[in-house]
């Protein structure tokens, strides 16, 4: 698999500059030893939010998604806006217990605990659909992995991933070496030759 990077430097990209200026760093939250990167100021600023959304949409357009999957909760905000830019619908990947039955459910480990994600088992035709998954931060990769599992169990293919920030030391990207992954804060765009076939090769089942 090949790896490519953005031809525009990070300093020249409005989205990356907005993240550098407005992301709030909060040590010791939600637990001791965790450094929380709060994107709320970025999302609340119209120009910065627009820059981040357009950066993701423009970079991921050639993934040819049929639907955007936004992960609970900030992935809802980002995913909805990116879906609008791409002319696509949005699928909310919810935390456990928020959807009426029947649901597909997967449990996963967080950076600081454990949780579960769910998607509807009925009502949304996912069979054969190509899904672009969007979240705010890639840490251990547990939430994205669980989301991918749910979608593949529903017959869909995850055709790419996009996040705003990455906690590189946790090596979450190693779980998705077969998928296109875009990280806004660095402008890094890896594995962009992935297609629907190779996306299914790394299916994880918990």
pLDDT 10s digits, 5-32: 343 445 468 999 999 999 999 999 988 8
CB count within 10 Å of CB 108 equals 18
Q: Which pairs from 25-32 meet CB under 8 Å and 24+ separation?
A: 30/112, 31/112
In this predicted structure, the answer to whether residue 1 has a pLDDT above a threshold of 50 is no
What mean pLDDT is predicted for residues 133-162? 96
* Six token digits for residue 45: 């600023």
Which of 174, 153, 47 shows the shortest CA–CA distance to 106? 153
Residues near 129 by Cβ (< 8 Å), separated by ≥ 6? Answer: 66, 67, 155, 156, 157
* Six token digits for residue 160: 């790419």
What is the predicted pLDDT for the residue at 169?
Answer: 86
In this predicted structure, the answer to whether residue 55 has a pLDDT above a threshold of 90 is yes
- Residue 107 among the catalytic residues: no
* pTM of the predicted protein model: 0.84
Instruction: From the candidates 94, 105, 111, 130, give the one annotated as an active-site residue.
Output: 111
Mean pLDDT of the chain: 86
Q: Which has more confidence, 140 or 45?
A: 45
What is the predicted pLDDT for the residue at 6?
Answer: 40
Annotated domain spans of the chain: 3-192
By mean pLDDT, which of 27-31, 94-98, 149-153 is the weakest? 27-31
Instruction: From the candidates 61, 74, 85, 153, give the one annotated as an active-site residue.
Output: 74
CB count within 10 Å of CB 57 equals 20
Q: In this structure, what DSSP letter does residue 1 have?
A: -
CATH of 3-192, one of 3.40.50.2020, 3.30.70.380, 3.20.20.140, 3.40.50.10860: 3.40.50.2020
In this predicted structure, the answer to whether residue 78 has a pLDDT above a threshold of 90 is yes
Assign 168 a pLDDT band (cuts: 50, 70, 90): confident
Contact 176, 161 (CB under 8 A): yes
Helix, strand or coil, per DSSP, at residue 33? coil
Assign 139 a pLDDT band (cuts: 50, 70, 90): confident
In this predicted structure, the answer to whether residue 178 has a pLDDT above a threshold of 80 is yes
What mean pLDDT is predicted for residues 176-185? 96
- In the chain, pLDDT over 70 holds for what percent of residues? 82
- pLDDT tens per residue across span 103-132: 999 988 765 668 899 999 999 999 999 999
- Residue 105 among the catalytic residues: no
Mind giving me the DSSP string for 119-150? EESSSS--TT-EEEEEEEEESSSHHHHHHHHH
């Amino acid at each position: 698999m090949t790896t490519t990077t953005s031809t525009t430097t990070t300093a020249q990209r409005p989205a990356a500059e907005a993240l550098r200026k407005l992301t709030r760093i909060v040590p010791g939250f939600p637990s001791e030893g965790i450094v929380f990167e709060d994107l709320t100021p970025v999302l609340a600023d119209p120009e910065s939010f627009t820059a981040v959304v357009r950066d993701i949409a423009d970079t991921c357009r050639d993934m040819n998604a049929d639907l955007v999957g936004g992960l609970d909760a900030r992935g809802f905000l980002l995913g909805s806006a990116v879906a609008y830019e791409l002319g696509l619908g949005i699928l909310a990947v919810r935390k456990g217990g928020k959807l009426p039955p029947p649901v597909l459910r997967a449990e996963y480990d967080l950076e600081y605990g454990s949780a579960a994600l769910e998607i509807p088992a009925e009502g949304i035709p996912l069979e054969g659909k190509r899904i672009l998954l969007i979240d705010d931060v890639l840490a251990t990769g547990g939430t994205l992995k669980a989301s991918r599992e749910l979608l593949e169990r529903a017959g869909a293919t995850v055709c790419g991933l996009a996040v705003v920030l990455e906690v590189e030391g946790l090596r979450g990207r190693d779980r998705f070496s077969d998928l296109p992954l875009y990280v806004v804060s660095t402008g890094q765009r890896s594995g962009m030759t992935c297609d629907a076939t190779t996306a299914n090769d790394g299916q994880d089942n918990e």
